[in-house]
Amino acid sequence: MESGSYEGVLLGMGNPLLDISAVVDEAFLAKYDIKPGNAILAEEKHLPMYNELASKVNVEYIAGGSTQNSIRVAQWMLQIPGATSYMGCIGKDKFGEEMKKDAQTAGAHYYEDDNAPTGTCAVCIVGGERSLVANLSAANCYRSEHLKRPENWTLVEKAKYIYIAGFFLTVSPDSIQLVAEHAAATNKVFMMNLSAPFICEFFRDAQEKALPYADYIFGNETEARTFAKVRGWETENTEEIALKISQLPKASGAHKRITVITQGCDPVKTFPVIVLPKEKLVDTNGAGDAFVGGFLSQLVQEKSIDECVRAACYAANVIIQRSGCTYPEKPDFN
């Protein structure tokens, strides 16, 4: 493919969140009732935490949100200007401006809400492991009206691959449905992520509605096991679960469904991962998103699944050696 034909080939939709990232201690987690490795939505009790994190000397602000991370990593891996685009909702505020600066290269088309502040995600790092508490704010205000505007719908029409993290099911299931049905009707590749155990548990109906359209499903082992448990599947074996997910009904027969389940530093099913010595691990925030971004960067070039997984492992390996979902200027993946 010529680089011109890659224009807008990959579209993502999701919750843009500004990561407020800092190294904390166990006491901080206990104070706000957070478990290591959590990925949860903020409740009342968590709200004071954002200011406390922001006051820390080592605090960093990084444009985040699961889908946006994946799209930015895919764009970085591709090194073809304009290959990706992204939609989500931010507020008209300082954090929103930060986000716009950071996400330009990923082709972000934000819906800007007048009344809600830009969404934030507290990234609490203890011993390299991250716990995430998302305060969606404006990200929660995305509406399908924005999607239907001609200048935005053209992004959907241009894209050949569409990726949406499960987190977006809590915000705009009707937007997901519009895009999913479009993909099925036009033979495009539609992809989703299980994203978090709470999505599989509490947003099962919305998930159930979108799943038949998904040609690729991503997730980690915890999410896969929760997904299975909710459906009463009597197995904890991630390989079996991945197989069962692949066999769930599909809305269109154009593509076979492929399920990709990651297992931290264990091999991705039958694919080896790059083992990183513990002292090189900075933080795991964005590792799963980067994995997907690396995967997508090869998928849109119609590379084999082996190549997609190799790129996915490479991207995740780069990200965990850095703070947040950030990367050097150019990849050295070959």
> Looking at residue 275, what is its pLDDT?
57
**Nearest in space to 29 (alpha carbons), one of 57, 49, 47, 13:** 49
Q: What are phi and psi of 223, to 5 degrees?
A: -65, -40
Residue 321 confidence (pLDDT): 84
What torsion do the CA atoms of 86, 10, 201, 31 make, to the nearest 10 degrees? -50
- Length of the chain, please? 334
- pLDDT interval class at 268 (50, 70, 90): low
pLDDT of residue 53: 92
H helix intervals, 61-149: 66-78, 94-103, 144-148
Residue 269 has pLDDT above 70, yes or no: no
pLDDT at residue 66, as a whole number:
93
> Residue 164's closest CA among 319, 8, 289, 308?
289
Mean pLDDT value across residues 265-294: 66
Q: What does the pLDDT look like over 111-127, one tens digit per residue?
A: 999 999 999 999 998 88
Give the chain's domains with CATH numbers. Answer: 10-16+65-118+137-320 (3.40.1190.20)
- Mean pLDDT confidence for 218-236: 94
Kindly list the catalytic residues: 289
Where helices occur in 104-252 by DSSP H, the ranges are: 144-148, 150-158, 173-185, 197-202, 204-210, 221-230, 238-246
pTM of structure? 0.90
Give 24's pLDDT tier (boundaries 50, 70, 90): very high
Angle separating helix axes 66-78 and 287-299, nearest 10 degrees: 50
Beta-ladder partners of 309: none
Helix, strand or coil for residue 172? Answer: coil
Residue type, 96: G
Strands 216-220 and 84-91: unpaired
**What would the pLDDT profile of 159-212 be if each residue is shown by its tens digit?**
999 999 999 999 999 999 999 999 999 999 999 999 999 999 999 999 999 999
192, 217 contact by CB (below 8 A): yes
Residues facing residue 122 across a β-bridge? 20, 133
Residue in this structure with the two tokens 């389940």, named with its chain if needed: 261
